[in-house]
Amino acid sequence: MNSDPIVIVGMGIEAPGGVETLPDFWSALASGRELISPFPRDRDWPLDELFALGRLEGWAPVRDAGGFLDGATEFDAQFFGITPREAVAMDPQQRVAMRVAWRALEHAGLNPGLLDGDSAGVWMGVSTVEYGPRVGSVNEYSGYRATGTALGAVAGRISHGLGLIGPSISVDTACASSLTAVHQAASAIRAGECEWALAGGVCVMGSPGAFYEFSKNNALATDGHCRSYAADPTGTLWAEGAGVIVLERQSRAKALGHRIYGQLLGSRVNHNGSGAPIAVPSASAQQRLIEDTVAAAGISADDIGLIEGHGTGTAVGDPLELTALAATYGNPDRTDGPLLGSVKSNTGHAQAASGMLGLIKVLLCGAHGAIAPSLWADAPNTEIDWDATSLRLAAELTDWAPRADGLRYAAVSSFGVAGTNAHAIVGLPVLEETNHG
């Protein structure tokens, strides 16, 4: 195990259901609360057409449900030194990312207003959404749309607003984006490109396009719930969210007196390769990824007590993922097999931010010494033989004791629709206090 690992010293969150603080997020997770709501009515989306898609031949119904951010349309432009017109032209993902990054810095005990000229890096997972008028048209926001629509501006806005001069990179590996961003940020710190970094992911839907796509593909939840790993998955349910963490080496954290919430022991990224259609997951690729990450972390797969899986709630994806997890973490000889869950069962599928919401869930579980329940876990998916594996779904809030070395170990997965897969293993120290907001 690395003697000076990369550690996580701060977090910021924005999740569906009005969640904007870590205590609020933990309260929702610990109580097993679903954070799904009706579609927003203030975005000028064609809801009548959307809800009628199920009447078309070959299309599945779209329910009036999703994991939407309450404050996605709100932004204090003056606070961040941005003019009102430029702020409106900016992709909301830029706005949400800026304020969540600010929260993560404050949680780490850093003053965001005193970072101008610091060489810290920023890596943000984000994917394209349809926001605002076409760039190729004349409108009152012309002149602001180049930066307003560029994915690179999500990380760039954070760096610019804080005055950071280190690497600033937006990462798009679809639903694996935020964990890929964490992997790249940690690699850059290890390589000496920067001493510390912000890493995270954001998703705010500029249009309901994802609902149209998965309605046509018959992979959208038909009942308005994301039933991760359940026996009766009805499809995935789209959501929004944002999460940012602060990363640095353990030696730096201790020297500066920063509280350590987790050690990033290992992370890896791979691709499914050819064979099946590009959007179809690969159990063999996921298994290779997990094995490589465990080797990089320098621990045994049997040390893992919590797995925060991808868990899209689809009839194709969940069984393939469970197959890979059973082959790697499901040692049938274990009597204390790992508990498995997915934050998507609470929030829906937050796309480019989904892996980060899962990672922050894991960090909060470690901080509170308890594993939060995963919803819809009372009847597990029947496509795998649960009697032949030590994997179990986390059906209730469960005390989580550290191992003999004083750490709890957890794994987080995130898989992208274009075939990119990301996995991370974290070691979670015992914290003296339980108020970690």
Question: Which CATH number belongs to the domain containing residue 283 in this structure?
Answer: 3.40.47.10
Helices (H), 6-151: 22-30, 47-51, 84-89, 92-107, 145-149
Q: Is position 18 within any domain?
A: yes
**Cα–Cα nearest to 238, from 199, 203, 280, 285:** 203
Tens digit of each residue's pLDDT (9 = 90 or more) over 266-315: 999 999 999 889 999 999 999 999 999 999 999 999 999 999 999 999 99
Number of folded domains that form the chain: 1
Q: Alpha-carbon distance 29 to 359, whole Å?
A: 13
Known catalytic residue at 160? no
**β strands within 109-240, DSSP E:** 121-125, 168-171, 196-203
Judge whether 321 and 310 are in contact, CB under 8 Å.
Answer: yes
pLDDT band, residue 434 (cuts 50/70/90): very low
Q: Which of 175, 194, 203, 226 is catalytic?
A: 175
Q: Is position 328 within any domain?
A: yes
Q: Alpha-carbon distance 197 to 119, whole Å?
A: 9
Judge whether 428 and 367 are in contact, CB under 8 Å.
Answer: yes
Tell me the HSE value of 102 on the side-chain side, using a 13 A CA sphere: 15
User: What is residue 128's predicted lDDT score, i.e. its pLDDT?
Assistant: 80
Known catalytic residue at 349? yes
User: What is residue 129's predicted lDDT score, i.e. its pLDDT?
Assistant: 73
Q: Which of 225, 258, 349, 368 is catalytic?
A: 349
**Residue 237 pLDDT > 70, yes or no?**
yes
Q: Which of 183, 225, 258, 310 is catalytic?
A: 310
User: What is residue 141's predicted lDDT score, i.e. its pLDDT?
Assistant: 62
Q: Is position 435 within any domain?
A: no
Tens digit of each residue's pLDDT (9 = 90 or more) over 407-431: 999 999 999 999 999 999 999 999 8
Q: Is position 1 within any domain?
A: no
Q: Is position 89 within any domain?
A: yes
Q: Is position 436 within any domain?
A: no
Q: Is position 258 within any domain?
A: yes
Label residues 296-329 b or e (16+ Cβ within 10 Å = b): bbebebbbbbbbbbbbbbbeebbbbbbbbbbbbb
Q: Is position 237 within any domain?
A: yes
Tens digit of each residue's pLDDT (9 = 90 or more) over 310-342: 999 999 999 999 999 999 999 999 999 999 999
Where in the sequence is the domain holding 361, given as residue range(s)? 6-429
Token pair 């999703």 is at which residue? 66
**Cα–Cα nearest to 339, from 280, 286, 399, 279:** 399
**Residue 435 pLDDT > 60, yes or no?**
no
Tens digit of each residue's pLDDT (9 = 90 or more) over 171-213: 999 999 999 999 999 999 999 999 999 999 999 999 999 999 9
Tens digit of each residue's pLDDT (9 = 90 or more) over 385-400: 999 999 999 999 999 9
Known catalytic residue at 194? no
**Residue 214 pLDDT > 60, yes or no?**
yes
213-381-69-355 Cα dihedral, nearest 10 degrees:
-90
